[in-house]
Structure 1
Amino acid sequence: MKRARFTEEQIIAVLKEHEAGATTADLARKHGVSEATIYNWKAKFGGMEASEAKRLKSLEEENAKLKKLLAEQMLDAAALRELLFKKMVGPAAKRAAVAHLKAMMGLSERRACMIVDADRRMIRYRSRRAADTELRARLRDLAHERRRFGYRRLFILLRREGEPSGLNRIHRIYREEGLTVRKRRARRKAMGCRAPIPVEAKPNARWSLDFVHDQFANGRRFRIIVDDVTKECLGAIPDTSISGRRVARELTTVVARRGKPGLIVSDNGTELTCNAMLAWCKETGIDWHFIAPGKPMQNGFVESFNGRMRDELLNETLFFGLDDARAKLAAWVADYNGERPHSSLQYLTPAAYAASLTATGARLRNPDQLCRSPVASTAPQGVHPPETLTAAG
Structure 2
Amino acid sequence: MKVKRHSPEQIIRKLRTAEQLLSQGQAVSDVCRALEVSPATYHRWQQLYGGMKASEAKRLKELEQENSRLKRLLADAELDKAMLKELGRGKLLSPERRRRAVMVLQDRFRVSQRRACRLAGQNRNTQRRPTPIADIEEGKLRSRIRELARRHGRWGRRLVYRRLRLDGWSVNHKRVQRIWREEGLQRPLPRKRKRSRPPGGSRELLRAEYPHHVWAIDFQFDQTMDGRRLKFLNVIDEFSRACLAIRVGRRCKAVDVISTIEQLLSQHPAPTHLRMDNGPEFIANALQEWCMGNGSATAYIPPGSPWENPFVESFNGRLRDEFLNVELFASLTEAKVLAEQHRIEYNVYRPHSALQGRTPLEVIQQWKAA
Q: TM-score, length-normalised on structure 2?
A: 0.63
State the AA in 2 paired with 1:112: A
State the AA in 1 paired with 2:227: G
1:233 aligns with 2:236: no
Q: TM-score, length-normalised on structure 1?
A: 0.60
State the 1:43 CA deviation.
1.9
State the 1:102 CA deviation.
3.5
Aligned to 2:119: 115
Deviations, residues 160-217 of structure 1 (Å, cap 9, x unaligned): xxxxxx4349x99xx89x9997532337599999979774543356555544333223
What is the CA RMSD across the aligned residues, in angstroms? Answer: 5.2
Report percent identity of matched pairs.
30
Aligned to 1:214: 222
1:353 aligns with 2:363: yes
Q: Measure, in 1, the Cα distance between the counterparts of 2:185 and 2:85.
A: 35
Aligned to 1:340: 349
Q: Measure, in 2, the Cα distance between the counterparts of 1:189 and 1:50.
A: 94
Work out which of the residue numbers 237, 249, 259 in structure 1 matches 2:271. Answer: 259
1:326 aligns with 2:330: no
Q: Measure, in 2, the Cα distance between the counterparts of 1:44 and 1:38.
A: 10
Relative to structure 1, the CA distance from residue 101 to residue 272 in structure 2 (aligned partners, 3 Å threshold; closer, same or farther) is: farther
Aligned to 1:44: 48
Do the aligned residues in 2 keep the contact of 1:87 with 1:93 (CA within 8 Å)? Answer: no
Aligned to 1:373: none
Relative to structure 1, the CA distance from residue 106 to residue 59 in structure 2 (aligned partners, 3 Å threshold; closer, same or farther) is: same
1:102 aligns with 2:106: yes
State the 1:65 CA deviation.
0.5
Aligned residues: 329
SS in 2 for 1:185: coil
Q: Measure, in 1, the Cα distance between the counterparts of 2:303 and 2:8.
A: 102
SS in 1 for 2:151: coil
Q: Measure, in 1, the Cα distance between the counterparts of 2:212 and 2:19.
A: 120
State the 1:30 CA deviation.
4.1
State the 1:224 CA deviation.
1.7
Aligned to 2:12: 12
Do the aligned residues in 2 keep the contact of 1:223 with 1:241 (CA within 8 Å)? Answer: yes
State the 1:62 CA deviation.
1.1
Q: Measure, in 2, the Cα distance between the counterparts of 1:181 and 1:104.
A: 31
SS in 2 for 1:305: helix
Aligned to 2:170: 167
Relative to structure 1, the CA distance from residue 216 to residue 358 in structure 2 (aligned partners, 3 Å threshold; closer, same or farther) is: same
SS in 1 for 2:349: coil
1:67 aligns with 2:75: no
**Greater shift in the superposed pair: 319-328 or 51-60:** 319-328
Relative to structure 1, the CA distance from residue 97 to residue 53 in structure 2 (aligned partners, 3 Å threshold; closer, same or farther) is: same
Deviations, residues 82-119 of structure 1 (Å, cap 9, x unaligned): 55599966444444443444344432222333333323
Work out which of the residue numbers 296, 299, 302 in structure 1 matches 2:312. Answer: 302
Do the aligned residues in 1 keep the contact of 2:232 with 2:247 (CA within 8 Å)? Answer: yes
Q: Measure, in 1, the Cα distance between the counterparts of 2:330 and 2:118.
A: 63
State the 1:61 CA deviation.
1.2
SS in 2 for 1:259: coil
Q: Measure, in 1, the Cα distance between the counterparts of 2:125 and 2:225.
A: 59
Determine which structure has greater relative contact order: mean sequence separation of CA pairs < 8 Å that are 6+ residues apart, divided by chain length. 1
